[in-house]
Structures are given as structure tokens and as C-alpha cells.
Amino acid sequence: MKPAAVLATLCFGALLCTAQAAPPPPPAASLTGEVLEARNVDSYTYLRLKTAAGEIWAAVPTATVGKGAQVTIGRPMIMENFESKALKKTFDKIAFGVLDVPNATVSSPHGGTPAARPGADMAKVAKVAKASGPNAKTVAEVVAGKAALKDKAVVVRGQVVKVNAGILGKNWVHLRDGSGSAADGSNDILVTTQETTAVGEIVSASGTVRTDVNVGAGYTYAVIIEGAALRK
């Protein structure tokens, strides 16, 4: 076997070990089609689309979309054999992304795109009391001190402002505690967890700080708290 083929085989095996549903290389910059069906669940709207290449399901942050509408999904990330527990359905192929809105921009304070993170429209929150203990940090302290905190355990107490469930085998939660600034994104931290929570809840997230996280298909994050346990 040629060295290139060996390398490809090893890389593919590694992906299978680290993700429940590893995405293939990213498709075109956008996906356009007619809405044949729309189904809303917590934090998501699932859309069955008729496109030039045939029918495909897509998932976007909650949106009001009617049957027959023409929609464009920006930077879709294709997932194969994706199981939606909310719909009790496994999709052979589904595209995760955001609806493109003319003259609108969506940005992330820590990198990445809305397909892999909770949406950009997150509310301001009142100050939340800091967690106790030697590993306790505020949101702003984690964001500003990410280099020194890399691969270290922290506990952050904050309000849940956005949740996306079941992406790459985990739930993606944004926390805010009233610290930091919206101008530089230091007021918000992304947490990955196997546990469930809801927007508005105050939780303590105990996990490990990771920096420069690449989840594939061009989705990267400057800092996240990974594998967190949540306590109300």
C-alpha cells in the first residue's frame, strides 16, 4: 500500500474513534432549496429541502419557515447517520448550518460558526455569583486567561443563554455570568457536555479548558470548556 493510502486509512480510523458521526469534507459555501417540510424542536428547525441535486434534510437554529419557501443555508456541514433524539429519527445525511439573511452578519466571539455553536442572538444577563473552590473562574477569566488555563480544570457558574443539542455527539451550551465585555467576546463561554439544560437556568459547569479547538470542516474555537458536568 502506498504511504498516502496508509495515512488516509489511519486518519479515517482516528475520526471514527473520536466522533459519533464524522463529517466528510465541507460542501459548497451554501445550500439552496425549496422547503417541503419544517419541524421545530428545542433550539432547532429541521427542514426537508428540494434542491437541484435532490432532497436533503437540514437543521438550522430555530426559525419560522413556511412550506414552499426558498431558503439558502450558509456554510452547511454535512453529517451522515445522524440520530435526532428529539425527532426519534436517524438521517442518512443532514446539513447543519444557518439561514442566510441578506445584509445580515452572524459572528462568534470565540470563532466557529453557528452550525456548530449555539446561535449568535444571545441575551444579556445580570451578574451571577461566582462559583466557589480553587478552580472557580468567571467567564471573563477563562476567556482572558485561556493560555494559562489550557488543559486545566475549571468551574464556571453562569446563566444558560443558548443550547444546541446532539451535535457531534454532545450538547453545546453558552454561559454568561455578567462578567466580561460583548465588544471583545469575553462575556460568553462555550461549554460542551453530555448533560441537558435549558435556556435561563443557572448552572455550574465543571470541565477542562481547551484552546484552538478544531471540530472539522473549518469549525474552530479559540477557547471552550470541554466535557463539563453541570450542577444546578
In the predicted model, residues of the chain with pLDDT beneath 50 are: 2-27, 101-122, 217
Domains and CATH numbers, the chain: 21-99 (2.40.50.140), 136-231 (2.40.50.140)
Q: How many residues does the chain have?
A: 232
Task: Quote the pLDDT of residue 71.
Answer: 83
Task: Quote the pLDDT of residue 11.
Answer: 39
Task: Quote the pLDDT of residue 206.
Answer: 98
d(CA 134, CA 203): 18
Task: Quote the pLDDT of residue 65.
Answer: 74
Task: Quote the pLDDT of residue 3.
Answer: 47
Q: How many CB atoms lie within 10 A of CB 195?
A: 14
pLDDT in tens, 176-206: 999 998 888 899 999 999 999 888 899 999 9
Residues 6+ apart with CB under 8 A from 103: none
Task: Quote the pLDDT of residue 207.
Answer: 97
**Is this prediction's pTM over 0.75?**
no
In a 10 Å sphere around its CB, with 0-12 CB exposed, 13-18 middle and 19+ buried, how is residue 106 labelled? middle
Task: Quote the pLDDT of residue 211.
Answer: 95
Task: Quote the pLDDT of residue 216.
Answer: 59
Mean pLDDT across the chain, nearest whole number?
77
Residues 6+ apart with CB under 8 A from 64: none
DSSP letters along 57-87, please? EEEEES----TT-EEEEEEEEEEEEEEETTT
